[in-house]
Every structure is written in structure tokens, then in C-alpha cells.
């Protein structure tokens, strides 16, 4: 008989594989996610002033190298912070250490560098139609179900590109 510890390791590995490969079937149910942001009642979007807790499932997170931390109400306001960092966060863009979003299908917290943002789809955030953060593995499924005409990386955006994108909404 197999020693019990090998059995445990085997099932632990199975679980890990399962978690790292979410399939997109049921959409937008962050309650099924095993991780979530710790949002406080007083957290407000630095761009629009919206209370983050009211729209928790859209919240995005920005951490600065100084240790300061911000939540935006959704991916749209996160981009606004990225293209006008001084204005909204009071620091230059280089001060940003990490930006994270909640992936559309799984609700998982993912680094912006590991997701793509879909422009022009039917995704609606707290501020209206906006870009949707999607795991690249599920890009095709997303486009098929929700439309969209452009796929971008957040860090490739500047003010001009963002203004052009906003005209599509």
C-alpha cells in the first residue's frame, strides 16, 4: 500500500493544478474565488471618490513602492491612475509597485501584466461600460460571448491612447 504521505502529496498537487487552470464556465462569481481584497469601509476611489466596498467585485488595487495602497472602483479608474499618476496618486508613475485586478471569469486577483483588457465589450463597471480584465487563456471565449474590438495591456496605455479608447464607450 502507498504510504499516506504520498497520497496526500498527490491530492495536494491535483488541487494546485485545478486552481491554476480555471475554465471560464460560470462568469462573474467572485464569491467562488479563494482570494479577495481586504477592503475597508473608508476606502474610496482616488479618481471618482466612490466607496470601494459598494462595488467590491470590480475593485482594483494599486500598491506604491512607498508602501501606500489604493483601491480604485474598477479597471477604468485604475487606468486613469496609470495615465495620470501624479494627479490621482500624488506620485510619478515609477512609484507604482504593483497593480492587480479581479479577473472577469474567476474573480481571481491577478497582476495586470498577466491579464489582457478587452475594449468595446458589454462589460459594465461602477462607472458604466469599461475595459474588462480577462485571463488571456479565456480571451476567445470572452470575445465570443461579450464582444469587444480591441485587446490591450494596461501598461501600454498613455493619456492619448486612453482618450481614444474612451470614445468607444
Contact set with Zn ion (CB under 5 A): 45, 47-48, 50, 73, 77
Q: How far is the CB of 141 from Zn ion (least distance, A)?
A: 27
Residue 23 CA: distances (Å) to CA of 19, 26, 137, 139, 142: 10, 9, 9, 12, 12
Can you count the helices (H) and strands (E) in the chain?
A: 5, 9
User: Nearer Cβ to Zn ion, position 47 or 99?
Assistant: 47
Q: How far is the CB of 52 from Zn ion (least distance, A)?
A: 9
- Among 41, 91, 27, which Cα is nearest to 65's? 91
Q: How far is the CB of 145 from Zn ion (least distance, A)?
A: 26
| Upper half-sphere CA count for residue 97 (Cβ side, 13 Å) | 8
User: Nearer Cβ to Zn ion, position 73 or 134?
Assistant: 73
User: Nearer Cβ to Zn ion, position 24 or 162?
Assistant: 162
User: Nearer Cβ to Zn ion, position 63 or 139?
Assistant: 63
Amino acid at each position: 500500500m502507498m504510504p499516506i504521505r504520498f497520497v496526500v502529496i498527490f491530492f495536494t498537487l491535483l488541487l494546485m493544478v485545478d486552481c491554476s487552470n480555471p475554465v471560464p464556465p460560470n462568469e462573474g462569481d467572485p464569491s467562488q474565488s479563494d482570494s479577495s481584497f481586504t477592503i475597508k469601509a473608508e476606502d474610496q476611489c482616488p479618481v471618482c471618490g466612490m466607496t470601494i466596498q459598494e462595488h467590491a467585485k470590480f475593485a482594483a488595487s494599486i500598491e506604491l513602492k512607498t508602501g501606500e495602497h489604493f483601491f480604485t472602483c474598477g479597471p477604468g479608474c485604475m487606468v486613469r491612475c496609470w495615465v495620470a499618476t501624479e494627479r490621482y496618486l500624488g506620485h510619478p508613475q515609477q512609484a507604482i509597485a504593483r497593480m492587480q485586478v479581479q479577473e472577469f471569469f474567476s474573480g481571481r486577483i491577478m497582476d495586470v501584466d498577466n491579464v489582457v483588457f478587452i475594449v468595446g465589450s458589454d462589460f459594465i463597471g461602477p462607472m458604466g461600460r469599461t475595459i474588462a480584465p480577462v485571463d488571456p487563456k479565456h480571451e476567445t471565449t470572452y470575445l465570443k460571448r461579450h464582444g469587444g474590438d480591441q485587446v490591450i495591456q494596461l501598461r501600454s496605455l498613455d493619456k492619448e491612447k486612453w482618450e481614444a479608447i474612451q470614445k468607444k464607450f
